Homo-oligomer: A and B are copies of this chain.
Amino acid sequence: MKQHREHPLGVPTMPGSRATPARVEHGLRPARVTALDRLLVSRLAKAMGSPAVAYALWDGADAYTPADPTETVGRITFRDRRALISSISSPELGFGDCYSAGRIGIEGDLVRVLFASFRAMAIGGHMAGKRGLFGRLPKPQVNSRDRSRKHIRHHYDLGNDFYRLWLDDNMVYTCAYYRSQEASLEEAQLEKMHHVCRKVRLQSGMQVVEAGCGWGSLAMHMAEHYGVRVKAFNISHQQTVYAREQAEARGLADRVEFIEDDYRNISGKYDAFVSVGMLEHVGKDNYKTLGDVIHRSLKRGGLGIVHSVGRSFSAPPNAWLEQRIFPGSYPPSLREMLGIFEPHEFSILDVENLRIHYAKTLMEWLRRFDDHVDEITRMYDESFVRAWRLYLGGCAAAFLASTIQLYQVVIAHPDDNRIPMTREHVYGRDGPDWNL
């Protein structure tokens, strides 16, 4: 199943090292732990806001333990000096790469350990959003049309068989919407799709355009349940192929067209503009362009929705995530998102924050991922598995710690008075809407 000549993450090994996790653990003997190493650990713990997590070194002994041992949720072990130095000098990229390579171990529940770390950093740390003392900022990635295609394929073309192992049946790879805590992932993804459709008030016969459609689940859902026609854009080849097959199999091919093309090439006029989980990949420099696309493609009287990971304030993206998992990605603050809408004076009708829903979604993905960990290791390798567990668990923890948010933003053209008067239609209330 390996489909890449290069390693899909581009990181199984550390620079200057060919050690695999097994060799780090059982082969090369790390240098002796010194007093300086222990001092560095205690400095690191302080800079991290003194999290409720123990830090151990390659001799197996804890070099930092939380003030209240009863609150300790786990242990992070630096298995060699370079892993420690890398984590200090580059707490995102260095730590992530070393963890992926097995040079850092995490004991305890992964999400809880990372959550404790992020929360401590947010409250009392001074390394949040920093690259570390000696770290250089990675070069920002530019999302030209060619680069976007490369970036998207890096992640989404890892293989449909891989994603099928741990996503829901409909292959929805965005934040679910849990109306109750007991809902299954499948139910919550269906609810999310209905939630989006209700927010843009889909009606039978409408023309809808979707920018960034993944494996096509939402496009097909809209056509099947709301009687609309959909043009759905995506630059992932594998996703598009899969989506077309599904639409054919479900008898929806006459109503849903999957187009393997960039959102910037959207043409035509639509009653609704839908984009769920694409904005993260658009990049700040292109927000004005995305706004232009929405402006020219959304009919007056139509509603648009943009659903995206975001932040409560502007900050550089996590360097490891941006370099290794989602190249070219950037979670915007709400302020930055307004850069899409303000130039065309779009009216912001509704913003909802679903961050805890994404935490729950990611924890469920991680659980299913872990159920298939042997299979995934055979498909890729152990460092891939470690990186993906760090990504899924780390994002769950970041949503829980409010480091990242999930925004759904509903917009309308300026001075369009056919907007929904209330949001009761989203919550299943009957009764005709009103207008002036």
Contact = CB atoms under 8 A, between A and B. Distances in A.
Interface stretch (A6-14, A239-247, A353-361): A353-361
A180 interface: yes
A200 to B, nearest CB: 15
A421 interface: yes
A160 interface: no
A181 B432 CA distance: 9
A423 B357 CA distance: 13
Contacts of A178: 421, 434
Interface string A405-427: 10100000011110101111011
Given A312-B342, A335-B335, A414-B402, A419 B119 contact: no
Interface in A342-364: 342-343, 345-353, 355-357, 359-360, 363
A314 B347 CA distance: 13
A35 interface: no
Contacts of A403: 415
A122 B427 contact: no
A387 interface: no
Contacts of A419: 356
Nearest to A357: B421
30 contacts: A119-B415, A122-B414, A123-B415, A178-B421, A179-B422, A180-B434, A181-B421, A181-B434, A312-B347, A313-B343, A313-B345, A334-B334, A335-B335, A335-B338, A347-B353, A349-B352, A349-B353, A350-B353, A356-B417, A356-B419, A356-B421, A357-B421, A401-B415, A402-B414, A402-B415, A403-B415, A423-B427, A424-B427, A427-B427, A428-B429
A228 interface: no
Contacts of A177: 422
Contacts of A402: 345, 347, 414-416
A23 to B, nearest CB: 38
Contacts of A363: 436
**Top 8 A-B pairs ranked by shortest CB distance?**
A181-B434, A351-B351, A427-B427, A402-B415, A313-B342, A402-B414, A349-B353, A335-B338
A431 interface: yes
B312 A334 contact: no
Nearest to A429: B427
Contacts of A351: 348, 350-351
Contact of A342 (B335, B357, B427): B335
A52 to B, nearest CB: 14
A354 to B, nearest CB: 9
Interface in A292-328: 312-314
Nearest to A183: B434
A173 interface: no
Contacts of A427: 423-424, 426-427, 429
